[in-house]
Amino acid sequence: MSRPDWIVLITTLVGIIVYGLLKSRTSKNLDGYFLSDRSVPWYIVLLSIMGTQASAVTFLSAPGQAYTDGMRFVQYYFGLPIAMVVLCITFVPVFHKLRIYTAYEFLEKRFDVKTRTLTSFLFLLQRGLSTGISISAPSIILSSLLGWDIMWTNIFMGGLLIIYTVTGGAKAVAYTQQLQLIIVFGGMIMAGYMVVHLLPQHIGFFDALHVGGKAGKLNVITTGFKNNNFNWNDRYNLLSGVIGGFFLALSYFGTDQSQVGRYLTAKSERESKLGLLLNGLVKVPMQFLILLIGVMVFAFYQYHEEPVFFNQSQLKVLENSKYKDSLYALQNEYDKAEVLKVKEMNVISAADKSSNEFRQAQSALQSIANQKELTKKTIRRWLGDKEVHGDSNDTNYIFLRFVVDYLPKGLVGLLIAVIFLAAWGSVAAALNSLASATIVDFHKRFSKKELTPNNEYVLSKWYTFLWGIFCVIVAQLAYNIGNSLIEAVNVLGSLFYGVILGVFLVAFYMKKVGGHAVFISAVIVELLVISIHVLNQKGIVNLSFLWLNVVGATGVIFLSWIMNTFFIDRNKKAGRNLPV
């Protein structure tokens, strides 16, 4: 990185920390520390929930995903607006009226302490681990691309934000997220403008869209049907996006404390609802535009030489393996083909569509594309070799490789700052929520010692700090996970979210079901969901991870109903008339 890049990066990061510290003044009690004295306006709520959901991986992986798999990933968010509506009708009024700190507190009021403890524990487990992965994902990419030390990158990615998160709690988190998101969007808009600007002069935005479209990258809507059969293992299609995405979003925004904690900071129920509904309006178009940048990068590389593998550190791994000589030969052939590709693409752009020249260039490009595909497959196969032990997926590296190689000085620093800020926004909210669940659902709930508001405030700061350290350690341990980390985070969420959502839906809609029935159902269905995931991994079952949310939620609802009927009958026979 050049000196201007370092100046932009350091200034932005230091600026955010200082801003976070300036916004740190809150009342020294739980209300002030975790709920910002319930004083936040709707637009901060909106930016805060968006900043919490959009992690660094969102901005790194999404353009890469569009580059390799097309834009169909946007369908994953189709269920989100519907979930926002259900949340505003069901969850938000209840949470506000009960004036709770964590979503799980409601479950004790509705059921019993064990159901609250179980769901809060599942949240801590899932959110603690996934926050660690959220730190390690961008760290691995940056350290690999820029040659930074992974440990220090993890510490900067997950550690610096602890300063203002510990000091200012939810208020500092919300206000820094507002500034972070403005910088993030500014950076992404500039990157989008630059990629179009860097296209050859005769290629405009719509030409680039046609290039992407011809290569199948503008597949925004896919049905998931193949030969009249629905493919349950297809991750992103209209049905899985609307149904699976709805359950995932409802669970994430309604039962994950990292989100619930954001909209509980609102000064009224009205402000919470407005923030959530506007999120429902802007999320899908925002994700569409981020993916569109990936398609523009794809179009850009049709007129420029594309690296044989975007993660160059993995090519170095191959250079030190038995494939060294074969790699040189393959790379040589590939580079020649890339020069030819650029030439033929320019011919196609200039020639008349009905001319022979056009048709010849088209057929030459087809054979180059086939050869390229074969080369890339070979490299992935070599990296997948057990002796090499490489990472054969370079999706997450595509966008940043383009940024580092082609964007002007200063902008590179800004886009690396964007990655840091996006990570900080989601990690800060996660730490705040992990601390709130720990103190409210466990420490305060089970401690026999009476705590003063000041004791609670100091303890909350300590828990935030300790969770920060825990997540950085997890990030360091997750270094070897590899592959597409965005999916690792989503899969991990899907293992728990559905069951937790099921418990909440029973709480809201099945008033006759009591604590024992829902607790036992939740434990059984959680084991079932984990079993299905393991069978899926082994290839025995074919089910995309998004459907695990549906299985978890409907499983708990159905089993609770069965268990309740069974227990009620038993209680009636025993002469008791208690809800279970």
Partner 1 sequence: MFYYNCKHETGSYTMNANDEEKSPFFKSWSYWYALVIIFLAILIIFFYFFTKHFS
Residues forming the site for partner 1 (CB under 8 A): 74, 78, 81-82, 84-85, 88-90, 93-94, 97-98, 106, 109-110, 209-210, 212-214, 216, 218-221, 238, 268-270, 273-274, 277, 280-281, 284-285, 288, 507-509, 511
Dihedral sign for Cα atoms in the order 228, 234, 236, 242? positive
Residue 568 CB, shortest distance to partner 1, in Å, is 16
For the chain, the residue count is 580
Please return the burial class of 355, using the count of CB atoms within 10 Å of its CB with bins 0-12, 13-18 and 19+: exposed
Start-to-end Cα distance in the chain: 62
Location of structure tokens 């052939």: 333
Residue 210 CB, shortest distance to partner 1, in Å, is 6
Indicate the residue among 211 and 403 with the shorter CB distance to partner 1. 211
Residue 280 CB, shortest distance to partner 1, in Å, is 5
Indicate the residue among 209 and 365 with the shorter CB distance to partner 1. 209
Which residue type sits at 336? K
Residue 334 CB, shortest distance to partner 1, in Å, is 28
Residue 83 CB, shortest distance to partner 1, in Å, is 10
Query: Residue 225 carries which DSSP code?
Result: E
Q: What are phi and psi of 212, to 5 degrees?
A: -65, -40
395 Cα distance to chain centroid: 15
Indicate the residue among 168 and 280 with the shorter CB distance to partner 1. 280
Residue 514 CB, shortest distance to partner 1, in Å, is 10
Q: Which two tokens stand for residue 111?
A: 């059921």
Residue 507 CB, shortest distance to partner 1, in Å, is 7
Indicate the residue among 25 and 270 with the shorter CB distance to partner 1. 270
The CA distance from 168 to 267, in Å, is 18
Q: In 10 A of CB 477, how many CB atoms?
A: 13
Nearest to 499 by CA among 522, 470, 480, 476: 522
Dmax (CA) for the chain in angstroms is 90
Determine contact, residues 145/401, Cβ cutoff 8 Å: yes
Nearest to 234 by CA among 437, 69, 91: 69
Residues 6+ apart with CB under 8 A from 329: none
Residue 279 CB, shortest distance to partner 1, in Å, is 10
Indicate the residue among 288 and 470 with the shorter CB distance to partner 1. 288
Indicate the residue among 410 and 579 with the shorter CB distance to partner 1. 579
∠ Cα 527 528 533 (to 5°): 100
Nearest to 525 by CA among 500, 506, 542: 500
